[in-house]
Structure 1
Amino acid sequence: MNIARTCQQLALTALLGASAATGLHAQYAPPPPPRPFPGFINEKLRATDVYMSAWDIAVNLRGRYEYKNNAGFTDAGSNWDFSTRPQDDNDNAYYLLRAMPRVAYTGKWFAATVEGRSSYSIGDERYLATAPGKALAERDGPIDLHQAFVFIGNHKEFPVSLKLGRQELVYGDQRLVGHFRWNNNARTFDALKVRWQNAIFGVDVFTGGVVYNDHNNGNDFNSQDLFSGAYFNFPTVSTKDIVEAYVFARNTARGIVTDDWSGVPAPFRFPAPQDLYTWGLRLKSKPAAYDAWDYGIELMYQTGNKATVFPATAVAAARTAPRLDHSAYAGILQLGYTWTEHAWQPRLALIYSHGSGDDNAADAKSQTFQNLFPTNHLFYGYMDLSSLQNTQDLRLAYTFKPKPTLSVALEGHVQQLTETTDYWYNVAGVPRNFTTTAVGSGSGYRINPSYDAGLGYEADLVVGYSVTHYAQLELGLSHYFRGDYIKQSLRTVGSRDASYAYFQLTLNL
């Protein structure tokens, strides 16, 4: 795949489409409601008693219908995405429902939040056969605890604050750490976070663990899978730029591997034992700092060690697997331009994402960048086929707002493997066909250095409309055009392109 030539073709296609549609819009963001709305309960309470403004009592409801053709994450799994084998049912259509009620209080020196989550999937074929009753996709029973934390501090009067309990961690653009609210279950951590903030710099220092979903059994974090970090921001370094730096540590003990590990599908399965350290620098322009132009740069480097990955059924082997020295990197470059004088505020952006892969699977080194806890749905195509592991993604995004309550985004992605000596990893960071060792060339995804690196091209259209102050609609249409790597990997079993569509309603009550 000639990535430069493809970039030119994508740019020309997008610009022609933009002129035909009289303007279009970049990195999609849902439109805001016509007016700020705290929710029906809050509105009534605050109208009755002004002191109730310290309280936040509301519920967020969301329903989404999804249709996936030829890449449906069914029981065949992502190992057989795009496959036309008769036994591979790659089509999937289902409904997702989620209710998130919350009660929060904010005082001068003290705040607290309790937020529940009730998630259901209807008609979903994902994971049902491999783990009945254990890890049903995107559901966790009638009600579970999403967040429950206390906050102590007041940065206007004192530089130190503390946040303790179940909470969301969101840093930067969420490429490494995010709440992943697109998923019906979302993501939280049981963590302790201390923040220091003054006029020169601020830093979050935290430690804890990601909360694993356990259907109908209550969700909890595993003390043998610890995630810690320090995230710095420097507001005085530049008046035009956001400057941030960070270090994250994920330390997973061998005891994480249990007999239950074999029955739980990814991404709910515990990770391999590892001690990984990610160092990063993030630079981004502030709004309107460079007139119509904006930019973003993020550089990441990983060190440490990681256990070799074994098939999910080989629990004993996973417990004693040797650890490989780990050295990996990733980088993001972004440039955007907004026609600020146009009423529709059209913006064109070009984003290049690069995650390292392993250039020699036979040596005692690990070079595949680990994606940690990202919200990948925002970056590498709305079909959620890839992550930032051994992947290069060139993204052209064009957005516009015909009305303040209407957003439209048209995007194109060119994707390829960084190294053909490594796997194609799915959106959860799991290698495709890793457990299939008996396939021949052209019979399934695997490491084959003779294959082309080109994965394919994805085209996305997303439209968001704020119907009223408490209701928003969203529609998405996507198509993935296979590249040579997919065609070669499935040559003997057959393959075809994939499509995706969704329709979503969100109510803030």
Structure 2
Amino acid sequence: MKTIALISLLFLTVSVQAQETSKTVKMSLTSRVRYEDSNQKDLVNRTSFFSIRLRPQFSYEVSPTVKVLLEPQYAKILGQQGFVPSGAGANSLTETSGNSSYVGDPLTVRQGSLEVELAPQWTLVFGRQALAYGDQLMIAPSDSGVYGRSFDAIKLRWASEVWSVDLLQAQIVELTAVNSANGGNKELSGLYVTGSPSESIKALDLYAFYLADNRDPGTAPVDANRPFGWGTYGSRIVTDFSAWGIKGEVAQNYGQANTSTFAENKDNGMIDAEIWTRWGEAQGSRLGSEVFQAGAFWKDLYPTSFVPLGRADVVGRRNLTGAAIHYSQVVNDRWSGDLDLFYFTRTKTDALLVNNSGTTPFGSAISDARDVGSEIDLTAKYKWDQNVTVSVGVAFFQAGSYIKDTAGDTRSPHYGYVALDAKY
């Protein structure tokens, strides 16, 4: 992939030097102020806070074939304290590429990239990017959180009226920029093909991603099993026949990781499928039925959270089997609402359940129970004007036998929020 990146960068440099300046600047702004109250992170301790996020975006058209994108971000939990290192021992390296929980600096660059049209249908994007594919179950900007996620990446795209193909490489950790003795890097490579071959087939996708961690085993965070690599390949389809449709995604992990069980490529697949129907005035009513299952050793890449498995955000996809009912209603041109019901079980009773961070907050006690719990989500949106939307949401998770056994109590989490979003 580095050879591809170097060749692409050579074409990019030549293309930029050959352009005449047009100097067209476009500006936009997205902002969000949100209050939230929850105890979903560890199921016990309650958190309650306001946060603010401002994203001014500047798009500079150097020429008809060269564009520069800059999107700074100011994101902060109001009143949140920061750590001021008092010495070398207080410092630690933190991944920023691909990290949706980076709180090191409230003022960052969410996106900063150079886009060049290399030839008709061919474009190259180089720099920091908020990558999002499909339903964002594999790669997502994770905007539901306070900070969001973006990647330091190079992306080569071929696009026609029906199909597009992305070939990308994202640098998650770059160590050889300092000294090659530090070991290799951590890199995400990917291929994503998507198209809409007919009016009723809105998306038909094929993809493959590979995450290689070639860092020295002694490099922090220390991992004696490095180097290792693993990936995910899969497909996705979305149909819309006006009154009804289906949406489905199937994926499989492959490769090796720091677990002998994973190397056997067993119990590490995933499936998510929904069938839905629409009716009423302007088809403003929608009802969907969803089922999902992931193996006991399924591994996530960089997915979105918060919504796909419930806004209470208690469970992750690994070793999870469940079903959901989704109902949405557009009341008028200002009001709309959603109701989501979830039921969760364990795929295998001899394997742990984890949350989105890959850890388990459910305690260490052993349980052979399959029932994890159920959840109800309610949200309402009010369109204040063309640019401003106010939303309110609550989510309640009812603990099942597995959580009661392992956590030692019912631990039924909740999540609630009030948000104001503005786009200009």
Fold in common (TM above 0.5): yes
**Counterpart-to-counterpart distance in 1, 2:81 and 2:315:** 20
**Contact 2:316-2:356 within 8 A present in 1 as well:** yes
**Counterpart-to-counterpart distance in 2, 1:427 and 1:91:** 18
Question: Deviation string for 1:67-113 (max 9, x for gaps)?
Answer: 114x3x3xxxx3xx25xxxxxxx111111111212211245312210
- Tell me which amino acid in the other structure corresponds to 2:139: V
More strand by share: 2
SS in 2 for 1:307: coil
| 2:149 matches 1:187 | yes
Identity %: 22
SS in 1 for 2:257: strand
Q: 2:29 corresponds to which residue?
A: 59
Question: Deviation string for 1:163-192 (max 9, x for gaps)?
Answer: 111111111110111111111211111111
**Contact 2:350-2:368 within 8 A present in 1 as well:** no
Q: How does 1:20-169 map to 2 (within 5 A)?
A: 54-69=24-39, 71=40, 73=41, 78=42, 81=43, 90-106=45-61, 107-122=63-78, 139-153=103-117, 158-169=120-131
RCO (CA 8 Å, sep 6+): is it higher in 1 or 2? 1
**Counterpart-to-counterpart distance in 2, 1:223 and 1:61:** 38
Question: Deviation string for 1:139-186 (max 9, x for gaps)?
Answer: 3424211111011118xx712111111111111110111111111211
Q: 1:351 corresponds to which residue?
A: 290
Q: 1:172 corresponds to which residue?
A: 134
In the superposition, the TM-score normalised over structure 2's length comes to 0.81
Which one of 346, 364, 367 corresponds to residue 445 of structure 1?
Answer: 364
RMSD after superposition: 3.2
SS in 2 for 1:253: strand
SS in 1 for 2:349: coil
Could you list the runs of 4 or more consecutive aligned residues of structure 1 that deviate by over 3 angstroms after TM superposition? 122-128, 131-140, 198-201, 256-259, 271-274, 321-327
Would the alpha carbon gap of residues 343 and 197 (structure 1) be closer, same or farther in structure 2, given more than 3 Å must change?
Answer: closer
| 2:278 matches 1:278 | no
| 2:337 matches 1:337 | no
**Counterpart-to-counterpart distance in 1, 2:329 and 2:348:** 36
Q: 1:481 corresponds to which residue?
A: 398
SS in 2 for 1:147: strand
**Counterpart-to-counterpart distance in 1, 2:416 and 2:116:** 43
- Tell me which amino acid in the other structure corresponds to 1:378: V
**Counterpart-to-counterpart distance in 1, 2:337 and 2:173:** 34
**Counterpart-to-counterpart distance in 2, 1:145 and 1:223:** 25
Deviation at 1:272, TM superposition (A): 7.4
Greater shift after overlay, 163-172 or 277-286? 277-286
**Counterpart-to-counterpart distance in 2, 1:95 and 1:272:** 40
**Counterpart-to-counterpart distance in 2, 1:475 and 1:423:** 33
Count residues with an aligned counterpart.
Answer: 381
Would the alpha carbon gap of residues 496 and 191 (structure 1) be closer, same or farther in structure 2, given more than 3 Å must change?
Answer: closer
**Contact 1:99-1:117 within 8 A present in 2 as well:** yes
Would the alpha carbon gap of residues 132 and 402 (structure 1) be closer, same or farther in structure 2, given more than 3 Å must change?
Answer: farther
In the superposition, the TM-score normalised over structure 1's length comes to 0.68
Would the alpha carbon gap of residues 256 and 199 (structure 1) be closer, same or farther in structure 2, given more than 3 Å must change?
Answer: farther
SS in 2 for 1:452: coil
